[in-house]
Chains A and B, each alone.
Chain A
Amino acid sequence: MKFNPHTNHLFTDDGRLIKRLHCPFRLDWSKLGPRDDPSARNCHICQHTVTDTAQRTEDELLALMSANPKACLKVDLSQDNLTLTYQR
């Protein structure tokens, strides 16, 4: 998975767009409410579920976004399944 922090676009390694992340709240993941699923948390502002991309595969995230285009994601710049790129 690749992330461009200049554009906030999250891609698969082969270049398919997963989502452009945009949240004006600058939310802190550690302060979001827990869920039964440890790979997701609750946003207390929008009431959306926020999914941790570190714990999902690219295919799972593509399926998630296809089913719910407004789903929110969390990206950590240092997570193991992610590299940063500035080219897209």
Chain B
Amino acid sequence: MKTNAANPNDLRVIKTARTEEAINQAAKEGFRPLVKPVKPSKKIHSKFCIWQNQTTGEIEVLSDYRINPLDGDWKQMIDWTEYYPHNFPMPFAAYLIPADISAGERVYVKDLIEDFIGMSWNQGDTFRLESCEAVWDGSDLKIDYKPAKNQISMVG
């Protein structure tokens, strides 16, 4: 597996497979799939409300309280509602562990299976952390998640 220069400390990148086919293909290629359940966290949530034009039938989906309710022929059909905003193909996934990894090796997990909060918004929405460093302890990946307090800005 190639090292990805885009990750913070130029660590070896651990990929994630999210279907049975992808996991088994990786196993055939020599990886050890570390299978995990995909468990949506109640801490991760977004919100929406739906307005519908009573003449045309078109809808408008709002996600930000700062957008004013629509005037005129628009009617709110669904009030502000929280939801889990991700839809993964299967309720399981696997980190693809290289055969030559050693206990204690620090790696970069590009596509986290677990839910961690990456960013929070003052309107209550919380956003999922996509990638994180981790340490292979010989049998499991220990995700090195450091929660950021009041993380409301993003650089990139």
Contacts and interface: CB of A to CB of B under 8 A. Distances in A.
Chains A and B bind each other? yes
Interface of A: 5-6, 8, 19-29, 32, 43, 45, 50, 72-78, 83-87
A86 B46 contact: yes
Interface stretch (B18-26, B30-38, B74-82, B119-127): B119-127
Contacts of A28: 148, 153
The residue among A5, A21, A74 with the most chain B CB atoms within 10 A of its own CB is: A5
A24 B131 contact: yes
Contact of B154 (A6, A75, A83, A85): A75
A86 B155 contact: no
Nearest to B118: A26
A25 B108 CA distance: 11
B137 to A, nearest CB: 22
Count class of interface residues, chain B: 20 to 34
Contact of A84 (B6, B63, B86, B148): B63
A21 B156 CA distance: 4
Nearest to A73: B156
Majority SS at the chain B contact face: loop
B155 A77 contact: no
Contact of A78 (B7, B121, B156): B121
Closest 9 CB pairs of A and B: A21-B156, A23-B156, A76-B153, A83-B64, A27-B155, A5-B127, A84-B64, A77-B121, A22-B156
A84 B122 CA distance: 12
B152 interface: yes
B99 interface: no
B70 interface: no
Contacts of A23: 154-156
Contact of A6 (B46, B108, B153, B155): B46
